[in-house]
Structure 1
Amino acid sequence: MTIEQFVAQSSGKWRSMRSGHSLAFQQFEEVLSEVVIEKLSKEDPGVKQLLESSLAKEQDKCSISSPFKMEWCAESDWEPDDPSEVSSGSCIIVPLTKDKSSGTLIRSVGYAESESAISEYSFLDDGTFTLTTQYEQSIAEERIWFVSENVRCRSSVLRTSAGSGILQTSFASEVRRINA
């Protein structure tokens, strides 16, 4: 699989059910989300702004491939004050290809920490997308794979910044919303 194929296959509206286990707090969390993934043009103002503010080198910017926007609205059972509280957000993601099966992702907002992030991605032989992001306080390792055209799975492991301890794990199954 290539990043272009992955973004094309991921585009659309998804219903996600994620289970997370926080080892640090010994808590289990259930999250229901609506996720929208939309392909963007390389000329999109948000893409240009992200590239200008990122650590990407000028030569890297020549390898932009399939930028996209991801929006989410999530409801968690782990909100202590109000279990029905909804968290939402969005981020722009710009892939920079190194070769057919690997590269770098520049993200306006990271997965584990709410700051911009640069991640390394690659595809395994079976098409599984792997992503590793080094944050200031942690390291996030994610995997996304398609079970079928309209079902995908996602798993993540959040480690300490030294990589020696596991802070959190999660698994999500996601089903594409199909318009009738």
Structure 2
Amino acid sequence: MTMMDFFGKSQGVWFIQRTVHNFDTSADESGESNVIIDVLTRDDPRVLEVCQQQNIAPDKVSGGASFMWQDNLDNTTPNQNYAAILIDIPDPTNPKTGKFLRNRGYVEGIPVIGVYNFADDGVLTIETEYETNQGQERCWFINDHFRVRVMTVQMINGVKQMAYCSERRCVSDSILEKMVEQNRLRLSANGSSVALK
């Protein structure tokens, strides 16, 4: 698994159910939302803009992804205050590891550079240093349409926040129709084999 493989597998709309534990406040950020993920090529203007902002040569980049969040499953316009562009800079000697540029961080809304690695079982671990926090995120696919993310945010005096997210792909009507048809064909083939016995 490479980061661009991961972006490709993540492309689409995901429904997120999250549980958040804040250790320094009583604020509850648990809830439901959507994330919309699009893969970006290395020559996409948004990729080039982030490279320019962070003084990175575009030839070191393999591509990127755009992330946009919605408050719920409504067809409302995604909230641009929570949009982000991630750019992949793979390690030339080991494509399972590398760095990524982000035009705005998840924990603090500033440009950040993080490091990542994929374990042999496909689990992605991301470490991000912010000005006053350190974030760690792990993400893995249970299957092509369901994935899990766990995150921690830590300050000098200890853990500030932990979160668990289960994410389910929102399947389009055309994909859903294909899935239904595949199941019909599978059931009719199984029915035929049963009838022959």
TM-score (norm 1): 0.86
Shift of residue 43, structure 1, vs aligned partner: 1.5
Letter in 2 for 1:29: E
- Aligned residue for 1:170? 163
Shift of residue 3, structure 1, vs aligned partner: 1.3
Check if 1:179 corresponds to 2:172: yes
Question: What are the within-5 Å matches in structure 2 for residues 119-134 of structure 1?
Answer: 119-134=114-129
Letter in 1 for 2:123: T
Question: Percent of counterpart pairs with the same letter?
Answer: 27
* Higher RCO (C-alpha 8 Å, min separation 6): 1
Distance 1:87 1:22, change over 3 A: farther
Q: String of CA shifts for 1:25-55, please: whole Å, max 9, x gaps.
A: 1444312111100011212111111100115
Letter in 2 for 1:111: Y
How far apart, CA to CA, are the structure 2 residues paired with 1:132 and 1:2? 16
Q: Which runs of 5+ in 2 are unaligned?
A: 73-77, 174-197
Contact 1:92 1:108 (C-alpha < 8 Å) held by counterparts: yes
Contact 1:22 1:167 (C-alpha < 8 Å) held by counterparts: yes
How far apart, CA to CA, are the structure 1 residues paired with 2:9 and 2:44? 21
How far apart, CA to CA, are the structure 1 residues paired with 2:170 and 2:32? 14
How far apart, CA to CA, are the structure 1 residues paired with 2:79 and 2:45? 25
- Aligned residue for 1:63? 60
- Aligned residue for 1:157? 152
How far apart, CA to CA, are the structure 2 residues paired with 1:11 and 1:174? 12
Q: String of CA shifts for 1:91-141, please: whole Å, max 9, x gaps.
A: 111010012210001001111111111000111111011101000010000
> Any runs of at least 4 consecutive aligned residues in structure 1 with deviations exceeding 6 A, and if so which?
none
Contact 1:69 1:91 (C-alpha < 8 Å) held by counterparts: yes
TM-score (norm 2): 0.79
Q: Which deviates further from its counterpart, 133-142 or 34-43?
A: 34-43
Letter in 2 for 1:39: V
Question: What are the within-5 Å matches in structure 2 for residues 134-145 of structure 1?
Answer: 134-145=129-140
Shift of residue 5, structure 1, vs aligned partner: 1.4
Question: How many equivalent pairs are there?
Answer: 165
* More helix per residue: 2
Check if 1:117 corresponds to 2:138: no
How far apart, CA to CA, are the structure 2 residues paired with 1:5 and 1:87? 26
How far apart, CA to CA, are the structure 1 residues paired with 2:55 and 2:67? 21
Q: Which deviates further from its counterpart, 38-47 or 15-24?
A: 38-47
Max Rg structure: 2
Letter in 1 for 2:149: R
* More strand per residue: 1
